[in-house]
Amino acid sequence: MSLEIRAVEPDEVDDLLLADQRGFGGEPLRPGASRSWTTGELERTRVAFEAGRMVGVSRTYSFELTMPGGAFLPAAAVSWVSVLPTHRRRGVLTRLMAAMHDDARARDEPAAILTASEGAIYTRFGYGVATWRLGLTAERARIAFARPDDDEGTTRLVSREDAEIACPEIYDRARRTRAGMVTRPDFWWPQVFWEYIVGRAKASFVAIHADAQGRDDGYVVYEIGGDWSGGLPDRRLSIIDMQAESPATWISLWRYAFGIDLIGTVAASNLPIDDPLRHVVVDSRRVRVDYVNDHLWLAPLDPLGVLSARSYAVSGRVVVEVHAPDGTRSLVAVEVGDDGTSCVATTEPPDLVCDSRVLGMCALGGNRWSELADAGRLDVRRPEVLTLADAMFLATPAPALLSHF
């Protein structure tokens, strides 16, 4: 199969949308719907053409990824990946991934990141699960908070127009407080959030939290659905998006959600694994975990660049050798001491030897080196370094991607 791989032109956007819809088996965009996410950074699309027809689409966006310590890493955010059902398993995705990674390297982006429709697709391209997402459900009537509410802030329900202004500003502050968070560019909100995510809800609401000084510091967007079965309200409140600048505000938003009347069940599908709800209620067993799934996948295209961009929790020194899918090898010494952190390329013997996927899993502190060593995913040359490496790479709070792209 002879393929041409290139970016699309503005007059090919309709074809791009159609190929994406056919590849995912999804619904067409509603007439008049925003195309902001479709038309943003079109030059970063990488589309496969066979005999002039689109058979596979993919693209990257220029994101900032929050690293442990709060620095931003420029990252290629991979999205829109799909191949027509007529052309699967012939290497189209493999060609697209190579083209996107080449482009990311040319832009000096040390990492590529994505979320996956299926968990088995991307390991072969050097991606590892950097953050996990927690889904939970709780019966509202069974949830009581253990301590009285001492929040001196306020929560207010706002109109869609007000939310369109306030939410991006709050999100942009909140994303700085946790590793694994990413940019939401201005062109993300209209199509992805308001049209695709919120627009599909029958009844959605936005509540904004402000601190005691009146400064907005968190919000929750939620949907209420379900029945009044037999005269009793058995409705479900599903959290669509919750963001907070501090753990205290996050807990206040949970209190708000569980305080809403006429609700049977409260559910959330994308929470960090260190979500505090179970610690603040009387009966933690009533907070039911539905799943812990992979969420952000990270491929370190430049291991030294990735490791240099983060901070480390304790002092120490560890030398990591990383093998990429294309056979290249990187050897990086990470040293943290009283004088600060240094990450340098080295030629000395490594303490830990792994592939890109494992570095992708540990880079943000979302997995411990020792658990991957136990799973046989890592060659430990100096066992005495393992516990130290766990401690150095730990990230607090736990890394999480509280977004979608």
Ligand X SMILES: CC(C)(COP(=O)(O)OP(=O)(O)OC[C@H]1O[C@@H](n2cnc3c(N)ncnc32)[C@H](O)[C@@H]1OP(=O)(O)O)[C@@H](O)C(=O)NCCC(=O)NCCS
Binding residues vs ligand X (CB under 6 A): 23-24, 81-83, 88-94, 116-118, 120-121, 124
Decide whether 21 or 311 has the Cβ nearer to ligand X.
21
Please, which residues bridge with residue 206 across strands? Answer: 158, 221
Give backbone dihedrals phi and psi of 49, rounded to 5 degrees, phi first.
Answer: -115, 135
Q: Least CB distance from residue 60 to ligand X, whole Å?
A: 13
3-class DSSP state for residue 346?
coil
Please, which residues bridge with residue 224 across strands? Answer: 237
What CA–CA distance (Å, rounded) separates 211 from 218?
9
Q: Least CB distance from residue 19 to ligand X, whole Å?
A: 10
End-to-end CA separation in angstroms for the chain: 30
Q: Least CB distance from residue 320 to ligand X, whole Å?
A: 27
The CA dihedral of 5, 6, 10, 15, to the nearest 10 degrees, is: 0
Decide whether 113 or 332 has the Cβ nearer to ligand X.
113
What CA–CA distance (Å, rounded) separates 369 from 313?
14
Q: Least CB distance from residue 24 to ligand X, whole Å?
A: 5
Cβ partners under 8 Å of residue 104, min gap 6: 60, 76, 112, 301
Q: Least CB distance from residue 264 to ligand X, whole Å?
A: 33
Q: Max CA-CA distance within the chain?
A: 72
Cβ partners under 8 Å of residue 103, min gap 6: 44, 46, 60, 76
Decide whether 90 or 173 has the Cβ nearer to ligand X.
90
Q: Least CB distance from residue 272 to ligand X, whole Å?
A: 21
Q: Least CB distance from residue 64 to ligand X, whole Å?
A: 21
Decide whether 121 or 224 has the Cβ nearer to ligand X.
121
What CA–CA distance (Å, rounded) separates 100 from 332?
25
Kind plus residue range of the DSSP H or E element containing 103: helix 92-106
Decide whether 81 or 112 has the Cβ nearer to ligand X.
81
Q: Least CB distance from residue 93 to ligand X, whole Å?
A: 3
Decide whether 286 or 404 has the Cβ nearer to ligand X.
404
Q: Give ∠ CA 169-246-236 in degrees, rounded to 5.
A: 80
Decide whether 50 or 151 has the Cβ nearer to ligand X.
50
Helices and strands in the chain, H and E counts: 11, 19
Structure tokens belonging to residue 119: 């968990």
